[in-house]
Amino acid sequence: MIIGSGQLAKVFDGFVNNETLIFASGVSNSSCINKDQFEREKMLLLKMIEKHSNKKFVYFSSCALSAPGYPKNAYYNHKKSMERILKDNQGQYYIFRLPQLFGDLINHKTLINYIYNSILQENAFTVYDHAYRYVIEMNDVRDIVNTYLKYHEAGIVIDLANPYSYRVLDIVHIFERLLNKKAKYQVIEKNDRYTLDLTQMLNFTSKHDLKLEFGSDYLLMKLKEKILSPNG
């Protein structure tokens, strides 16, 4: 059972498991400050827990919660609250904390899509000089989640990410290279990064022989497929 209609929910199309509910209808924009959106997600989550208390729950949170010293805005505090609701009310949970997601590159409010569309449309934007981000492609999220559901007991909180942390300015350069187009941006001096310990996930995916192609070339190779392949 899949709750949600966005891109992350859609990668689970065809998921058939009557014992599991995939909750992919939450707030996904980390800049969100809209209390109504937070409340909508909270009420929907509580409704689904009450209605499907016998099911295993998959919930998507944020990797930033795994970094104690990283500043927490309204979005991160909201995600922390949603995790607590699951832990207190639904024992059979799988909480997957995600970094910057990317899938198709059109009309989605993510950092990677924002950079892509800004360059494509020749819009000016700003970049923090010392900002770094972990990333993961949505199809890889699906494959890892399905493997955890198959082989791991419920009651876990786990970070899913490519272990290489990209400088945001380097993400801009990757797009410039793939699009053969110069970006219009202003660099602002600011630090914005955190560090993840992804040992648990890497050991698990290695044990179950998942071919994820993680590493420093991961983002370039994934974006190259999306931009330069015949199917886009």
DSSP states of 149-188: HHHS-SSEEEE---SPPEEHHHHHHHHHHHHT----EEEE
Tell me the per-residue pLDDT of 150-166, one tens digit each, with 9 for 90 and over.
999 999 999 999 999 99
Q: What is the mean pLDDT of residues 5-25?
A: 83
Predicted pLDDT of residue 231: 52
The letter for the amino acid at 70 is Y
pLDDT tops 90 at residue 35: no
Report which of 11, 91, 31 is spatially closest to residue 56, judged by C-alpha positions: 91
The letter for the amino acid at 119 is I
How much is the pTM? 0.92
Cβ-Cβ contacts under 8 Å for 191 (sequence gap 6 or more): 128, 130, 131
Predicted pLDDT of residue 80: 94
pLDDT tops 90 at residue 36: no
The letter for the amino acid at 8 is L
Q: How confident is the model at residue 33 (pLDDT cuts 50, 70, 90)?
A: confident
Tell me the per-residue pLDDT of 39-96, one tens digit each, with 9 for 90 and over.
898 999 999 999 988 899 999 999 999 998 888 888 899 999 999 999 998 889 999 9
| Gap between the Cα atoms of 119 and 146, Å rounded | 34
Question: Is residue 175 a contact partner of residue 219, using CB atoms and an 8 Å limit?
Answer: no
Predicted pLDDT of residue 107: 65
Tell me the per-residue pLDDT of 171-195, one tens digit each, with 9 for 90 and over.
999 999 999 999 999 999 999 999 9
Report which of 21, 12, 19, 14 is spatially closest to residue 143, judged by C-alpha positions: 12
Report which of 130, 132, 213, 136 is spatially closest to residue 165, judged by C-alpha positions: 132
| Gap between the Cα atoms of 130 and 167, Å rounded | 7
Q: What is the mean pLDDT of residues 127-135?
A: 95
Question: Is residue 60 a contact partner of residue 4, using CB atoms and an 8 Å limit?
Answer: no
Predicted pLDDT of residue 91: 83
* Domains of the chain in sequence order: 2-228 (3.40.50.720)
